[in-house]
Structure 1
Amino acid sequence: MNILLVFAFLFFVGSVFGWVLELFFRRFFSKNNPERKWINPGFCVGPYLPLYGSGLCVLYLIAGIRPYINLGNPISDTVALLLAMALAMTIIEYIAGVISYKGFRVRLWDYSNEWGNIQGIICPKFSLFWGMLGVAYYYLVHPNILDALDWLSHNLAMSFFIGVFYGVFVIDLVYSTHLLNTLKKLSEENKIVVHVEELKARIRKSHDERWIKYNFFLPFRSDTSLAQHIKAMKAAQKEQRANKKATKTM
């Protein structure tokens, strides 16, 4: 089977699955969503997260080297493989976080309050999460991945849908990059770093308070300009810092 089609399929599956996983995580577990609302977890419009798509491709490659790992003990070999998966996913997360933070002054996620974090982008807690995801992939997904790819090769209609996915994805990526540049400009004007989860929650709350319909797949669309929302975010962050400072001096 064409290797490009294999990775196209894996990226598609990983991106969609990751979006669903993050959707439920942010709905029921995220500290940035205390009201437990359904919030689109992605920065793109569509239901996919490229970080997970890239991650699944990397996990597939790492799992493929299992026969070449020989530490003298099958258990040690498997542990080394799973640690490599966790490390690889953490590196992917770090690269994505650095690009958004350094390149666009935007935080797609923030681990600043987590123990052992590095620049608020990665931390041991979520590296453990990536490790658990690697275990799930290796034992539950990878043994069946060849069957899935064989099925794909005999169902060309699925290849058509994957092609449609990438057509939509490219258009979405252009739109999202434009939005990132807009947020970068606003963040520079206001001299703050835009926290995406906080901004989404702020826009949704503003809509709910005024009984205005909230667009789940276009979470940054609002009758109030993004500039006003970011100014309000800046004021709220300033107030939080002042309260923390006052608490420390008491």
Structure 2
Amino acid sequence: MLEQIKAMLLEEYSVSQWVLLFFLYSFCGWCWEVFLYLVKERRFVNRGFLFGPILPIYGFGAVGILLTCVPVEGNMVLVALVGTIAASLLEYVTGFLMESIFHVRYWDYSQRPLNLNGYICALSAATWAVFSVIIVSVVNPFVKNYIYMIPLTMADAAAAVLVGFAVVDTGFAVRRALDLRALLESMERYAKELQALHGGLDSINEHVSGMIRDFAAHVDSKQEEFAANAKRVTAARDRVREMMDQKRLSLEDGAKERFANFERILNEAASYLPDVSALRKEVEEAKAKYDRQSEELRKTRERRLLRAEHALRNNPTAASRRHKGPFEQLKRIQQRDEEKKYSA
């Protein structure tokens, strides 16, 4: 069985010639994606997962189309059907594996009609059908003549060099993708810790409010002052709850404001509450924890943000279901930096 498959693969092209075809179609796919984005956004973007000017999904797709369509190449309807099935299956599996490993969808069809889990859709399938017919009936017969003109020794050398560059490129690209995943995970943890921190501050808020209410009930001469402070505590709590209803992007600013409010409230309450030292210590411990978490996230961002932004810029349709909040935050940061770059 293996010998039959090998014979079929090598019947028309040698291994090195298949490799050259793969890189040729990968480059053509990259040109196609760059052209589409250039028309849409009026600017150049180096599209794709890799750094170099190739999109392997197109290379594998084209090679897969050529291999699967050989038995039916005389019937263009079957070529379109078989090519679509083969290429769509490849696109689905690739998208699924990349999301499983990197926690990011580097292409996302979730918003397009007739999509399957966001990895493939009717439009992409139709595109593969058109590509299948064009590749089998027009492009490959033309390319075949030039491939055959290349001496096998030269084809072997060129294939080896291209594979070497692709391996190195893939290594750097995987590192960039893992950096993006690590950054998203750290932002997710930070957001959860920040939510927990706000929950602890809510408890302190209630404690302070209760102390003020109890003390105000016994000291009539201080009623107006206590009422003012109670209103201040309530207002601070309401502001924070409004922030927590917003996206996580605002939680960090909310924490800073709350610590400032607590410091002011405790300083004022110290003049008439019996003992606020325990509360002050609790707030200081919470603030120290918040500062440590913020510093850890800042260092992570410094190490990985540039590569993460590069990945997002090259894949503008990317999405992340697992880290939706942090991913949207990163996209806003990347878009803001892009606007600054092009407005400068």
Where does residue 144 of structure 1 map in the other structure?
Answer: 142
Where does residue 176 of structure 1 map in the other structure?
Answer: 173
Where does residue 125 of structure 2 map in the other structure?
Answer: 127
Post-superposition offset of 1:151: 1.1
Q: Does 1:62 align with 2:68?
A: yes
Q: Secondary structure at the match of 1:106?
A: coil
Contact in 2 for aligned 1:62/1:85 (Cα 8 Å):
yes
Post-superposition offset of 1:204: 6.4
Distance in 2 of aligned mates of 1:200 and 1:147:
45
Where does residue 102 of structure 2 map in the other structure?
Answer: 104
Where does residue 207 of structure 2 map in the other structure?
Answer: none
CA RMSD, Structure 1 to Structure 2 (Å): 2.8
The structure with the larger Rg is 2
Distance in 2 of aligned mates of 1:98 and 1:89:
14
Where does residue 186 of structure 2 map in the other structure?
Answer: 189
Post-superposition offset of 1:166: 1.5
Post-superposition offset of 1:38: 1.1
Post-superposition offset of 1:202: 5.7
Post-superposition offset of 1:82: 1.6
Q: Taking structure 1 as the reference length, what is the TM-score of the superposition?
A: 0.69
Q: Does 1:52 align with 2:58?
A: yes
Give the letter aligned to residue 38 of structure 1: F
Q: Does 1:13 align with 2:11?
A: no
Contact in 1 for aligned 2:20/2:155 (Cα 8 Å):
no
- Superposed CA deviations along residues 95-129 of structure 1, whole A, max 9, x for unmatched, are 11111212211111111110011121110011101
Distance 1:201 1:143, change over 3 A: farther
Distance 1:85 1:93, change over 3 A: same
Distance 1:79 1:119, change over 3 A: same
Where does residue 82 of structure 1 map in the other structure?
Answer: 80
Q: Does 1:209 align with 2:207?
A: no
Contact in 2 for aligned 1:63/1:142 (Cα 8 Å):
no
Give the letter aligned to residue 95 of structure 2: G
Residues paired across the two proteins, number? 198
Q: Does 1:3 align with 2:14?
A: yes
Distance in 1 of aligned mates of 2:155 and 2:332:
36
Where does residue 161 of structure 1 map in the other structure?
Answer: 158
Post-superposition offset of 1:84: 0.5
Structure 2: runs of 5 or more not aligned: 1-9, 192-310, 318-329
Give the letter aligned to residue 107 of structure 1: R
Structure 1 window deviating more from structure 2 (179-188 vs 156-165): it is: 156-165
Contact in 2 for aligned 1:13/1:53 (Cα 8 Å):
yes
Give the letter aligned to residue 22 of structure 2: F
Structure 1 or 2: more helix by fraction: 2
Post-superposition offset of 1:37: 2.1
Percent identity of equivalent pairs:
26
Give the letter aligned to residue 187 of structure 2: N
Distance 1:141 1:181, change over 3 A: same
Where does residue 118 of structure 1 map in the other structure?
Answer: 116
Q: Taking structure 2 as the reference length, what is the TM-score of the superposition?
A: 0.52
